[in-house]
Structure 1
């Protein structure tokens, strides 16, 4: 029986598959390096699981691209990782990193699934969501067991329902601020956790980077992360809410780079992109005006930072062209 030909991939599908291939090829490099140095067998089992997922993803994504006749991205390979480099991050930090990346994967895969229509692509991202959920749950449970995963704050249970009758609910930029809503606490807490982990990662990258422009880019990222940490910590503490821990002390003094600067720049750019999306969600879930202003200002700052990173990657020839439409103007003008 002849096989029914698959419809062409949509713009969203090919773009998402391309981006997933790039990210998973990067993840393989990271997981292989982590496994070369991990001492805790419980964390090792989770990283091995994460590595297996990334390798399986790359294989399946490559097959979809081949069926489409689309050239495989260069992505990242053995040239982008130095397994002989000394440990740069502690076992505990690696576990928290794995959990964070699983969260990002879940968020990305869910959005991607909703914009996919071809069956093989839908099936792929459905499975990716399921396995990423398992990775997230396993890393979170181990973090709780080890006492290094900080639980989000709790809020009191009200005696009765209450309706909003005062425009003070929206707050002001200056002056008295109402108590934080549970959802606002959630966004502040998790944005703070994400920045604490991101700062540690960039701090490690900055420590091993050799090129002046790349090192300066990472130094600016450290400052921006700390600024955001300070803003979110202040907002939580003013509401008598706890702030999560920082991870700076979990970086070794090694100055030998385990990764190529191309990989490190790509990784930081991916984290910036996810942060911009998270701030958009935070704005929609934070009615208080001062929080909206903070998120809007910070999003604009990291968008500028992202552009600086893109310029470095273009100048160095490290940035692959994502899938794009045909330049009709170029074709019709000689």
Structure 2
């Protein structure tokens, strides 16, 4: 049987999963070395196993297809013996986040793949990351660390929108449950982003990167407040994760390249979250908030990309051959 070549979508997704999971391996290796709670350690161990498997499996595809293997990230990008930087409650929250993000990312990768062996890989990875998410939530609930979404009373009967007032940014109605989902999740992700920026800012030796991380911390804090204030306007108190989850250690843990790349991934995820929330929200003031805050993230991400490029840290995804250049050479 003739071998079927990988499509551009498959190559792109395999590349993305390799680079991001090779980074995740380094982060989780450090968290495993510093976590203290045995039950949380079991979740970290499983998460690390998933990331290593995905890195190994995607690397095999590149080797078998004769494609350049991405550099990604290695043990050189982490100091696993560094003092503890993040407390165990943050580690569990982080695991919940990557389980959720991983399941979504692998599902998208599956949806654009054609070859059965590639689909099998992403199906397995999506299933494993769903299990990771459930493990982290179950552990958080058992330990009283899981931050639940708000609980509210809803109307007794089905209702229909009767006029444009429902969408008005001026006569603000109470929030519906779909809008609540996105406000809560964006508070949660910004809280995680704030803690990550705090840890990165105090452990880098670069003043430029320290300044960049401090700026990211302030953006995350500002966005969390915007969303929390919207909830409070509807008399809903936002459940807030603890912010005191970073130790006072200043010893370097991760390479500057890894930290900057990780922030680029978080910024892209943030923009995607805001875009989804904007589409799902039916109050125009919410839509405008998501759109203007998304612009702020985009500008921040662009500055981060500039730092990556100037330092030669931004690895290029595989791309199509430049036929014009080939003609020039011939």
TM-score (norm 2): 0.97
- For 2:233, the equivalent position in structure 1 comes to 238
**More deviation in 41-50 or 102-111?**
102-111
- For 1:209, the equivalent position in structure 2 comes to 204
Q: Distance in 2 between matches of 1:155 and 1:297?
A: 28
**More deviation in 124-133 or 7-16?**
7-16
**More deviation in 38-47 or 151-160?**
151-160
Residues 21 and 75 of structure 1 are in contact (CA less than 8 Å); yes or no, is this contact kept in structure 2? yes
| Deviations, residues 240-287 of structure 1 (Å, cap 9, x unaligned) | 112132443110000011110111111111011111111111011101
Q: Which of the numbers 109, 119, 122 marks the counterpart of 1:122?
A: 119
- For 2:195, the equivalent position in structure 1 comes to 200
Q: Distance in 2 between matches of 1:89 and 1:321?
A: 31
- For 1:162, the equivalent position in structure 2 comes to 159
Residue 30 (structure 1) shift: 1.1
Q: Which of the numbers 49, 69, 74 marks the counterpart of 1:72?
A: 69
Aligned length: 329
What is the DSSP-based 3-state SS (H/G/I as helix, E as strand, rest coil) of the residue aligned with 2:223?
A: helix
Q: Which of the numbers 8, 22, 33 marks the counterpart of 1:11?
A: 8
Residue 333 (structure 1) shift: 4.1
Aligned CA distance change for structure 1 residues 261 and 79 (closer, same or farther; 3 Å): same
Q: Which of the numbers 270, 288, 294 marks the counterpart of 1:299?
A: 294
Residue 149 (structure 1) shift: 0.9
Q: Distance in 2 between matches of 1:38 and 1:205?
A: 18
- For 1:152, the equivalent position in structure 2 comes to 149
Residue 69 (structure 1) shift: 0.9
> Is there any run of 5+ residues in structure 1 with no aligned partner, and where?
none
Matched, 1:47 2:34: no
Residues 17 and 61 of structure 1 are in contact (CA less than 8 Å); yes or no, is this contact kept in structure 2? yes
Residues 165 and 171 of structure 2 are in contact (CA less than 8 Å); yes or no, is this contact kept in structure 1? no
Q: Distance in 2 between matches of 1:202 and 1:235?
A: 24
Residues 200 and 247 of structure 1 are in contact (CA less than 8 Å); yes or no, is this contact kept in structure 2? no
Q: Distance in 2 between matches of 1:102 and 1:157?
A: 30
- Superposed, 1:33-112 pairs within 5 Å as 33-112=30-109
The alignment yields a C-alpha RMSD, in angstroms, of 1.2
Residues 81 and 258 of structure 1 are in contact (CA less than 8 Å); yes or no, is this contact kept in structure 2? yes
Q: Distance in 2 between matches of 1:107 and 1:94?
A: 20
> Is there any run of 5+ residues in structure 2 with no aligned partner, and where?
none
Residues 197 and 247 of structure 1 are in contact (CA less than 8 Å); yes or no, is this contact kept in structure 2? no
Residue 111 (structure 1) shift: 1.3
- For 1:138, the equivalent position in structure 2 comes to 135
- For 2:325, the equivalent position in structure 1 comes to 330
Q: Distance in 2 between matches of 1:70 and 1:314?
A: 23
Residues 147 and 241 of structure 2 are in contact (CA less than 8 Å); yes or no, is this contact kept in structure 1? no
Residue 34 (structure 1) shift: 1.0
What is the DSSP-based 3-state SS (H/G/I as helix, E as strand, rest coil) of the residue aligned with 2:157?
A: coil
- For 2:268, the equivalent position in structure 1 comes to 273
Residues 150 and 239 of structure 2 are in contact (CA less than 8 Å); yes or no, is this contact kept in structure 1? no
- Structure 1 segments of 4+ aligned residues over 4 angstroms from their partners: none
- For 1:321, the equivalent position in structure 2 comes to 316
TM-score (norm 1): 0.96
